[in-house]
Structure 1
Amino acid sequence: MEVPPLRSILLLLVCLTTALVRAQDLTQKIVPDRTNSAKQQEKPYVILISADGFRHDFARKYQAKNLLRLSGQGVAATAMLPSFPSLTFPNHYTIVTGLYPAHHGLVNNTFFDVKRNERYAMGNKRAVADSSWYGGTPLWVLAEQQQMLSASFYWVASESAIQGKHPSYYYIYNEKIPIDTRIQTVKEWLQLTEEKRPHLITFYFPEVDHAAHTHGPDSPETGEAVQFIDESIGKLVATVDSLHLPVNFVFVSDHGMTEVDTKNTLSLPAAIDTSQFIIPSGDVMLHLYARDKRAVKPTYEALKKEARDYEVYLTEATPAHWHYNKKADRYNRIGDILLVPRLPKVFNINGRKITPGKHGFDPTIPDMHATFYAWGPAFKEGITIETFENIHVYPLVAEILGLRYKKKSIDGKLKVLQPILK
């Protein structure tokens, strides 16, 4: 057996140590020498909150009294449509860029970039922090470019210097910081001097997604997670209200959740020659990236003949409402062939345990629908609006903060949500 050279061993140890330190990093990152301009100091504030996996009906289903009360005082949408695929990373980044996933580049939680010959995976800390993976201009970058400070207690891509800019205050993602500490940090941010005070804050909750994946959307554990978030929102709002600042709250989720068949799962179809395709892991959708494009057509035709309990698409011919096809794919990151299971079926190509709660399916399926509530001085009071696409949150937040952007640079339209503003 060949022994690796000492230099390779040392390099591996350094990489492992760096990854471990980064994973356990609980410290706040502060970008020095930034201040709000005099003009931006006069602007209101927005706290953009995401509760991962908080399906559109969870607040009522599990009687989230604070959220029901606060949204009743402001604006509640019947639901909010996630973008396709209804997964965490694509949709969190859509909300803060106003772009469909095929336009901003995060086309899945895990995907392959043909040009780079690399995989992106949400569990890969190095990739997550690499700004070259991210298109569009996130709201915090837009704010910082216009000399308005921002802060993030987690959001997809917030720990990456996109266009050379981090939020002025941010954390490397971890789940070890207690909620009361996080709420206290938000209070401290808003108590900074006007020159140093962030006007845009992002805040993220993973609990409902974790519980609903592991136990299913109808489980007592999911109900407990909803209650935890509701209590935390009550504490956060009370804490912020005590400061008497013009703070607006926008509460969203990235997607919904549904129950799937964990026993009768789908294997990798026999028609696929794995030597001909790169296939990143997935259960609610499989991307097939052809090593040789000549393999695409015969494989597609064979899959169409054998397909049971799943749909087969060429990238050129996916449903129009997905905005997820070869023409839309600005970064060439969508597979040549897509396999999408029909509910309640999911793929299991790695032999791993399948959890009962899943998302990632067509956004028009009701169980995939997300949540949108908003309240604060910028919003009208006591109104309910119809379901809308999540691409429209970006121009709404930009309008409240008075941030300029090129209308053609995003997919969202201000006219969709402008009527909810005073």
Structure 2
Amino acid sequence: MRMELLLVFTAVVCAAGKPLSKAAERNKLLLISFDGFRWDYDQDVDTPHLDQLVEDGVKAKYVTPPMLTMTSPSHFTTITGRWVEDHEVVHNMMFNAKTNLKVTHKKTLIRSEWWDNGVLPLWITAQNQGLKTASFYYPGGAANYSGQAVNRVLVTEAGHPDDNETEWRQNIDKVMSWFSDEDFDLVTLYYGEPDNVGHAKGPDHPDRKKIIQQIDRTIGYLREAINLHNLNDSLNVIITSDHGMTTVKKRPQVDEIILNKYLNLLKLTSFEILDYGGFGILTPRPGMEQEVFDALSKAPNLTVYKKDKLPESFHLAKSKRLPPIVVVADLGFNLNSRFIVYVNKGDHGYHSGEMDMKAIFRAFGPDFKQNFVSEPFDSIHVYPLMCKLLQIEPAPHNGSLAVTENLLLHSSGSQRTQLSVALLLSMLIFMFTVLL
């Protein structure tokens, strides 16, 4: 009898030690982006649900977005794990420097030719490995990639309000039903706040604090919805952002930058996007690149670069799309081309090393540690983390799982699986001891 029990015990232990199939191990993943959520926005506001996430999950002190600290370039870095010079989404606006084409941000979201540059985003990589994915307003989700589309896509319409709290909750309900009723594996969900409030009112305005409280309530609602749909043990959630926000320095406190004071733009350049916050691009007319560079070098409160001389840390110099001249304003200064047209009281697009440009990172779910605070990391490292959570082979990327793997409870399998195995072993040990 003892020998038989020993054989049974040994067989069960060996079986328990073997990994389950990937399909059995794999949990679902929800990536939520709150546009323009600066890393410290929750520090001067009462945010009980965000605070609870720190206890129930993981938090990075902050995340460093790529250069460029703009919505589309940064979001695409997160979903591809590639630097901007590799994925080539080099601006919020689709443009063509040769034809002078410029397409507004919202219209650019549905132009596949701007996004499809040979780099595959996570949705497509996951779908190619048998997973089911969806994009809910997330930048890049509406494009086709070498003829492949995301399984389900919702695109926000131009002019649609971004701050309707009732709609925010309805969006969460819809996403939860995708997971629980239709068995989606990956959903990316985008919210346009607090970016809009930050631009219109500035990061120090009371309305910014109100929208953070609204976000906090929404996170509370999200957790209730996860519980209601019985997804607590099978859904991992990452909450992050694309960039931060800073206060724009305006007259009469400072002299605003008007670039036409320092060079004749019409005479010396053939293409420009300059009236767009802290980041500007120009194409000099033939033979005039050095003259343009020298003239802009005399302008205050900015740094001008020739594209091929951009710092390696920018990861922009290899881009084929960027024009030859790149201008980065000092923190808080906005670029004006010929006269002051800029009305924003807050903005981004500045150097990603500036603390005001840093973004948030929170995560919770069965595969994440609890009450764990991580050191800061670059946003490119979120991609391999998501691939690990989904148990898929990543496409080529610039990130490293070694940077973010310490956020995970374990290196393989799910928390639910490990707890089940531990419980089973404990019961068998107890039975074995008693019977013997």
Is the TM-score greater than 0.5? yes
| Distance (Å, rounded) in 1 between the aligned partners of 2:178 and 2:102 | 32
Shift of 1:111: 5.5
| Distance (Å, rounded) in 2 between the aligned partners of 1:301 and 1:91 | 30
Give the root-mean-square deviation of aligned CA atoms. Answer: 2.0
**Does structure 2 retain, via aligned residues, the 8 Å contact 1:111–1:333?**
no
Q: 1:133 aligns with which of 105, 114, 118?
A: 114
2:212 alignment partner in structure 1: 226
Q: 2:402 aligns with which of 403, 407, 415?
A: 415
**Does structure 2 retain, via aligned residues, the 8 Å contact 1:205–1:229?**
no
Would you say 1:262 and 2:242 are equivalent positions?
A: no
Question: Structure 1 residues 63 and 122 mapped into 2: Cα distance closer, same or farther (>3 Å)?
Answer: farther
Matches within 5 A, 1:334-345: 334-345=322-333
Would you say 1:333 and 2:321 are equivalent positions?
A: yes
| Distance (Å, rounded) in 2 between the aligned partners of 1:141 and 1:169 | 11
**Does structure 1 retain, via aligned residues, the 8 Å contact 2:257–2:300?**
no
| Distance (Å, rounded) in 1 between the aligned partners of 2:211 and 2:290 | 46
Q: 1:179 aligns with which of 150, 155, 168?
A: 168
Shift of 1:128: 2.6
Q: Deviations 1:138-187 (Å, cap 9, x if unpaired)?
A: 11111111120011221101111223233222212144581222122112
| Distance (Å, rounded) in 1 between the aligned partners of 2:44 and 2:146 | 41
Shift of 1:285: 1.6
Q: 1:239 aligns with which of 213, 219, 225?
A: 225
Q: Deviations 1:382-406 (Å, cap 9, x if unpaired)?
A: 1111110000011100110011124
Would you say 1:288 and 2:270 are equivalent positions?
A: no
2:177 alignment partner in structure 1: 188
**Does structure 1 retain, via aligned residues, the 8 Å contact 2:90–2:321?**
yes
Matches within 5 A, 1:13-412: 40=23, 43-110=26-93, 112-114=95-97, 117=99, 119=101, 121-123=103-105, 125=107, 127-134=108-115, 135=117, 136-174=119-157, 175=160, 178-192=167-181, 196-245=182-231, 246-263=234-251, 264-269=255-260, 270-275=262-267, 276-280=269-273, 281-292=275-286, 294-304=287-297, 306-325=298-317, 328-329=318-319, 332-349=320-337, 351-406=340-395, 409-412=396-399
- SS at 1:343's partner residue? coil
**Does structure 2 retain, via aligned residues, the 8 Å contact 1:129–1:160?**
yes
**Does structure 2 retain, via aligned residues, the 8 Å contact 1:262–1:354?**
no
| Distance (Å, rounded) in 2 between the aligned partners of 1:169 and 1:88 | 21
Q: How many residues were matched structurally? A: 372
| Distance (Å, rounded) in 2 between the aligned partners of 1:205 and 1:381 | 25
- SS at 2:380's partner residue? helix
1:22 alignment partner in structure 2: none
| Distance (Å, rounded) in 1 between the aligned partners of 2:142 and 2:258 | 36
Q: Aligned residues: percent identity?
A: 29
| Distance (Å, rounded) in 2 between the aligned partners of 1:120 and 1:366 | 30
| Distance (Å, rounded) in 1 between the aligned partners of 2:97 and 2:341 | 27
**Does structure 2 retain, via aligned residues, the 8 Å contact 1:77–1:373?**
yes
| Distance (Å, rounded) in 1 between the aligned partners of 2:222 and 2:101 | 37
- SS at 1:66's partner residue? helix
| Distance (Å, rounded) in 1 between the aligned partners of 2:209 and 2:101 | 35
- SS at 1:417's partner residue? helix
Shift of 1:114: 4.5
Paired amino acid for 2:214: F
Paired amino acid for 1:285: F
Unaligned runs of 5+ in 2: 1-20, 410-436
**Bigger shift: residues 145-154 or 273-282:** 273-282
Q: Deviations 1:322-346 (Å, cap 9, x if unpaired)?
A: 1121xx21xx111211122223321
* TM-score, with length taken from structure 1: 0.83
